[in-house]
Amino acid sequence: MIDQIHSLPTLIREIVEPYDASIRRTLNREQCQSIHRLFVTGCGDSHHAALATEWAFEALAGIPCEPMTALQFARYAATYVPPASAVIGVSVSGGVSRTAEALRLANQVGAATIALTANPDGLVGQAARQTLLVQAPPFPEPPGMVTPGVRSYTANQIALCLIAVHLGEAREKLTKDETDGLRHELSALAEAAERTIEMSDAAARALAEEWRDASEFVFTGSGPNFAAALFSAAKVLEASGDSAIGQDTEEWAHLQYFAKNVTTPTFIISAGGRDLSRAVEVAVAAKTVGRRAVVVTPSTAIGLISAAGRALNFSTGVREMFTPIISAIPCELFAAHRADAIGEPFFRAFGGGRSVEGGGGISRIRTSEMWQTLPG
């Protein structure tokens, strides 16, 4: 897992240009101009990537965007998709049943359906009318080991942000100079990821050792970094099996503030932008009630760092809407070091009824029953 995290700068360098070229080939100007509403759907990390890029679609492309879990979209929302909508189904593996179902049902109401996948021949690619191929260079796993993934989350965010930029250009919401600048910013995230790893790796390892006694973790974030909070909690669950939740920063103040276990380690993820004043207040509140608080933020957020007393820093100079691509890195490092510190195998070694076979074992991620038609 550590090796995967350290590979992220190279991954970003390798994918921005080919992803952008694939997007431009696949989505023509007329199609881009015809979209009045966008839904982005997926499961797990793919859903987190959709949440992370909602703001980019709305701000850069000028399209109302609704990120939605695949079950929510397929079983509850698909029937009511308005005309001139597009639905992007995100699944790197291309084999997730629920995302394929969401796209199939979206086809039935006349939506434009697009699969964002590395496997065009999988269920998801077959269900969509168009496919955007987002293949990344393979990363070798140690023999017999399945590692919590971080590369696909990064790759999906890059792809979705590039789609937002392309839509903005095609819809004449952005000038060519603006789109060229945005693409350059996305490429430059490789250097930002490198700086983030350099700044946070040792600190994340030290926290994992210091907090060996903890049994639960809370991650908060707002705006696009709510996605980073959800994703970070997921990586702790996958890596060490510990209870972990991701929560909106404002919701923490309404709920977690009253939790019985006052010493729960609490990670407050903030870009130091629109959410800054509330993040400072929450950090003060968390410390006051006894939480072990750490902020995940750029080093320029001095007041926030002071309020928490502990920080895992990520690179400065990144546009706030793009920060989820790097803000999760310190938390990913913590999750990996946490598993190592307490000697837990990734994914609980697929024991206790868990299995990677049969479409996710008894959870049936890839073999779940799929609705073939919308309810009458």
What does the pLDDT look like over 104-149, one tens digit per residue? 999 999 999 999 999 999 999 999 999 999 888 888 887 777 899 9
Q: Which domain holds residue 240?
A: 196-348
Given a cut of 80, whether residue 358 has pLDDT beyond it is no
**Dihedral, CA of residue 10, residue 2, residue 279 and residue 297, to nearest 10:** -50
Judged by DSSP in three states, 171 sits in: coil
* Cα distance between residue 182 and residue 188, in whole Å: 10
Same-domain status, 216 and 167: no
Mean pLDDT of the region 19-23: 96
Residue 26's CATH number: 3.40.50.10490
* pLDDT at residue 247 greater than cutoff 80: yes
Q: Does the pLDDT of residue 69 top 70, yes or no?
A: yes
Q: Which of 174, 204, 229 is the last residue of a domain?
A: 174
**209 and 168 share a domain?**
no
Q: Please tell me whether residues 158 and 243 are part of one structural domain.
A: no
Q: Which residues of 200-218 are buried (b: 16+ CB within 10 A; e: fewer)?
A: bbebbbebbeebeebeebb
In a domain, 343, yes or no: yes
Looking at the structure, do residues 116 and 154 belong to the same domain, yes or no? yes
Written as six digits, the tokens of 38 are 């966008």
Q: Output the pTM of the full model.
A: 0.97
Residue closest to 170 by CA, chosen among 290, 284, 86: 86
Judged against a pLDDT cut of 80, whether residue 361 lies above it is answered with: no
Q: Which of 23-37, 191-205, 221-235, 344-358 has the weakest average pLDDT?
A: 344-358
Residue 57 has, within 13 A of its CA and on its CB side, a CA count of 25
For residues 27 and 165, state if they share a domain: yes
Does 246 share its domain with 121? no
Structural domain count of the chain: 2
Tell me the C-alpha distance between 88 and 86, whole Å: 7
Out of 174, 208, 228, pick the residue that ends a domain: 174
What percent of the chain lies above the pLDDT cut of 90? 90
Is the pLDDT score of 354 beyond 90?
no
The answer to the question of residue 374 being in a domain is: no
Confirm whether 286 is domain-assigned. yes
pLDDT tens for 256-295 read 999 999 999 999 999 999 999 999 999 999 999 999 999 9
Q: Is residue 13 part of a domain?
A: yes
Asked if the model's pLDDT at residue 334 lies above 90, the reply is yes
Starting at the edge strand found earlier in the chain, the sheet holding 311-313 runs 243-248, 216-221, 265-269, 292-297, 311-313
* Same domain for 246 and 133: no
CA dihedral 235, 326, 259, 277 (to 10 degrees): -170
Which of 70-74, 236-240, 345-349, 351-355 is least confident? 351-355
pLDDT at 135: 87
pLDDT of res. 356: 73
Place of tokens 């499961």: 43
- Say whether both 138 and 77 belong to one domain: yes
In a domain, 325, yes or no: yes
pLDDT band at 298 (very low <50, low <70, confident <90, very high): very high
> Which helix (DSSP H) or strand (DSSP E) does residue 294 occupy?
strand 292-297
pLDDT at 359: 59
Whether 134 maps to a domain, the answer reads yes
